[in-house]
A and B are shown apart, each in its own frame.
Chain A
Amino acid sequence: MSGFTARKNLTRLGNMLLNIPMLLVILAPLIYTLLISVMPPDEIYRNMLIPSSINLNNYVNAFTHPAYNFLTFIRNSFIVSTSVMLGQMVTCSLAAFAFAFLDFRGKKWLFVLVLATMMVPGEATIIANYLTVSRWGWLDSFQALIVPYLTSAMGIFLLRQNYLTFSRELHEAAQLDGCNNPRFMASIVVPLSRPALGALGAYVFLNTWNQYMWPLLVTNSSNYRTVQIGISMLYDIDAESLGLMMAGVVIVIVPSLSIFIFMQKQLINGLMAGAVKG
């Protein structure tokens, strides 16, 4: 019997050891970025891997130097990501409610239409959207960054699936007691679906925070640039300040990683629903 447990412990140890090289590969980009961001510049150019001392100048520069505007980028990204998140929570809840609880002409057809939008890659409509937004004079504005993303098929689908788990009798009983649909939704459906809303919120906030192509096309001035555009501009400003670039990367990754760490469960639920789109 003791031979059996010893063997089991050995496999455990083996499993742990096997993970080390893989962990190094997956974590290397982040660890290396962090190390370079605090490395004194001369050590970067001497190709050192571990800094001899910790130098926080890059972070101080990123936040205080007027040429980099990091605080503005962060503020912009927070405004845009929060607005898109809240907007999607509202529009997707409303649409999902109709699809899950109400009967109406064309319901099936409209739902198929919503699902069909998942098959259109955003990159295929981005040119036409850019032309629309520029015709409206929306280039370089928050509305250009926010309005096109105020709903999503994935959000409607995720919430509808969730609502379908509530019994229909609940809705019928509420109706018979004179509770109208908006009130039923606000007082019963939304509170009951908080986990699904949390999943949608975490997923949408993160996706918007991480967006690159659309903000790149519709913003020109640093007043409206988001963080992802901001860090990629660091290279254009000064290609030689590698440490500053890496400090920028660390700064914009921190919010993403925080959402990942603190809302991992919700995020993964959202991702699993969203992956249908890819």
Chain B
Amino acid sequence: MSLTDSLKARTTKPRVPGKRGIYAVMEPYLFLLPAFVVFGLFLFYPFGRTIFLSTFLTDKLGNARVFWGVRNYTDLFTSSSFWASVGVTFQFVAIVAFGGLLIGLATSLLTAKKYPGVTFASASYAMPVAIASAAASMAFRMILHPTNGLLNILFGTQINWTGDPRWALFSVSMLTIWLASGINFIFISAGLRGVPDEMYESASIDGAGYWRRLFSITLPSISPTLFFQIIINIIGAFQSFSQIRLLTQGGPGDATNVIVYAIYRDAFFNFRFGTAAARSIILFAIVLVITLIQFSFEKRSVHY
């Protein structure tokens, strides 16, 4: 661009619609192209494909064979093992969501004040976010080992933590709470830092004790954070897979057969891709509803 052109450009209004060249019109789409090709092939297409497959009976290679309408869904909704799986999933999700929140809240409160070692403690409480669920599952295989594991040694018990239907879901939940504790700590302590100091100062002048301040000032002030964190925990717990596969394989029986594991079992052990697809859509619907609940609450809770 020459100097006169540049001067002209300065005096004319930039970007007159209709006068742009074809490249200028296309350019934004070229910037978007790489991302949308990947989304298209590995997100939009498979999403559509999953809905499609959920209405078919498939062969062993996952090709749609017989149109089945909504019967994959109605078969699921009338089978007791599906409801057992949903029940197990909801129990698991509830334990993990609240357990993770409690640990996160406790660790955040423990590091809210400055003292020697608080940096180390904070880093340790955040650390589980970096640990892979598969690696942690292998570590817990040892911790929960029926004869040589840490838990049985410490408690002097001989519990088969992952093989006993009374303990399996509990064991998998403990591991998942440990994994989730890091992200809970990070978000809740960020929420705590956002509470203005003046609120505490006026309260301690009034002579309110620690617990009183906690329940009447701290918790109400961070309730939007806690709510958001519960939703994050719920969505994360619904997606858990490695723990189940590496510790219990959904068993014993169906004691830990959560929805995602049931999808995996249907597709890769029974080769029932249609049913697996229907389960996937149900999982999507559940996560969608939870996300929408969060959005509507977030809109309402912005003003406090």
Q: Which of A's residues lie within 8 Å of B, judged by CB?
A: 11-13, 15-16, 18-19, 22-23, 26-30, 32-33, 36, 44-45, 47, 49, 90-92, 94-95, 97-98, 102-104, 107, 110, 114, 117, 119-132, 134, 147-151, 156, 172, 175-178, 181, 206, 209-213, 216-217, 228-229, 231-232, 234-235, 242, 245-246, 248-249, 252-253, 256-257, 259-261, 264, 267-268, 271-272, 275, 277-278
Besides A210-B133, A260-B127, 12 other CB < 8 A contacts? A15-B113, A90-B34, A114-B35, A119-B288, A123-B283, A128-B53, A149-B42, A206-B130, A249-B135, A249-B139, A253-B131, A267-B129
Could you tell me if B127 and A271 are in contact, using CB atoms closer than 8 angstroms?
Answer: no
Could you tell me if A124 and B283 are in contact, using CB atoms closer than 8 angstroms?
Answer: yes
* In the complex, chain A residues whose CB is within 8 Å of the CB of B131: 30, 210, 253, 256-257
Chain B 229-258 near chain A by CB (<8 Å), digits 1 or 0? 001100110110110011000000000000
Chain A: which residue is nearest B236 at the CB level? A278
Could you tell me if A235 and B283 are in contact, using CB atoms closer than 8 angstroms?
Answer: no
* In the complex, chain A residues whose CB is within 8 Å of the CB of B235: 121, 277-278
Could you tell me if A29 and B50 are in contact, using CB atoms closer than 8 angstroms?
Answer: no
- Which single member of B28, B43, B111 contacts A98 (CB below 8 Å)? B28
Could you tell me if A107 and B28 are in contact, using CB atoms closer than 8 angstroms?
Answer: yes
Does residue B205 face the partner (Cβ distance < 8 Å to A)? no
A210–B131 CA distance with the chains assembled, in angstroms:
7
Chain B: which residue is nearest A260 at the CB level? B130
- Which single member of A12, A103, A134 contacts B115 (CB below 8 Å)? A12
- Which single member of A26, A36, A121, A177 contacts B178 (CB below 8 Å)? A26
Could you tell me if B178 and A29 are in contact, using CB atoms closer than 8 angstroms?
Answer: yes
* In the complex, chain B residues whose CB is within 8 Å of the CB of A229: 134
Size bin of chain B's contact surface = 35 or more
* In the complex, chain A residues whose CB is within 8 Å of the CB of B121: 19, 22-23
| A-B pairs with beta carbons under 8 Å apart, 21 shown | A16-B116, A19-B121, A26-B124, A30-B127, A32-B150, A95-B34, A95-B35, A121-B239, A124-B287, A126-B263, A127-B53, A128-B45, A128-B49, A131-B273, A213-B241, A231-B135, A242-B148, A256-B135, A260-B126, A268-B126, A268-B186
- Which single member of B31, B42, B273, B288 contacts A147 (CB below 8 Å)? B42
Chain B: which residue is nearest A32 at the CB level? B150
| B residues 108-130 in Cβ contact with A at 8 Å | 110-111, 113, 115-117, 121, 123-130
| B residues 5-62 in Cβ contact with A at 8 Å | 6, 9-10, 14-15, 25, 27-29, 31-32, 34-36, 38-39, 41-43, 45-47, 49-50, 53, 61-62
Could you tell me if A272 and B32 are in contact, using CB atoms closer than 8 angstroms?
Answer: no
Could you tell me if B242 and A259 are in contact, using CB atoms closer than 8 angstroms?
Answer: no
* In the complex, chain B residues whose CB is within 8 Å of the CB of A149: 42
Closest Cβ of chain A: how far from B40's Cβ, in Å?
A: 10
Could you tell me if B280 and A22 are in contact, using CB atoms closer than 8 angstroms?
Answer: no
Could you tell me if B14 and A28 are in contact, using CB atoms closer than 8 angstroms?
Answer: no
Given contacts A26-B127, A245-B141, contact A275 B183 (CB under 8 A): yes
* In the complex, chain B residues whose CB is within 8 Å of the CB of A122: 239
Could you tell me if B139 and A32 are in contact, using CB atoms closer than 8 angstroms?
Answer: yes
Could you tell me if B246 and A148 are in contact, using CB atoms closer than 8 angstroms?
Answer: no
Could you tell me if A15 and B241 are in contact, using CB atoms closer than 8 angstroms?
Answer: no
* In the complex, chain B residues whose CB is within 8 Å of the CB of A30: 127, 131, 139
A120–B115 CA distance with the chains assembled, in angstroms:
43
Does residue B219 face the partner (Cβ distance < 8 Å to A)? no
* B31, B124, B232, most chain A CB atoms within 10 A: B31
Chain B 55-76 near chain A by CB (<8 Å), digits 1 or 0? 0000001100000000000000
A216–B143 CA distance with the chains assembled, in angstroms:
24
Could you tell me if A151 and B241 are in contact, using CB atoms closer than 8 angstroms?
Answer: no
- Which single member of A18, A36, A95, A121 contacts B238 (CB below 8 Å)? A121
* In the complex, chain B residues whose CB is within 8 Å of the CB of A11: 113
Does residue B140 face the partner (Cβ distance < 8 Å to A)? yes
Given contacts A127-B273, A256-B132, contact A26 B139 (CB under 8 A): no
Task: Give the 5 A-B CB pairs with smallest separation, nearest first.
Answer: A128-B46, A210-B132, A278-B235, A260-B130, A98-B31
* In the complex, chain A residues whose CB is within 8 Å of the CB of B147: 47
Given contacts A29-B136, A104-B29, contact A12 B287 (CB under 8 A): no
Could you tell me if A125 and B241 are in contact, using CB atoms closer than 8 angstroms?
Answer: no
- Which single member of B132, B183, B287 contacts A119 (CB below 8 Å)? B287
Could you tell me if B124 and A27 are in contact, using CB atoms closer than 8 angstroms?
Answer: yes
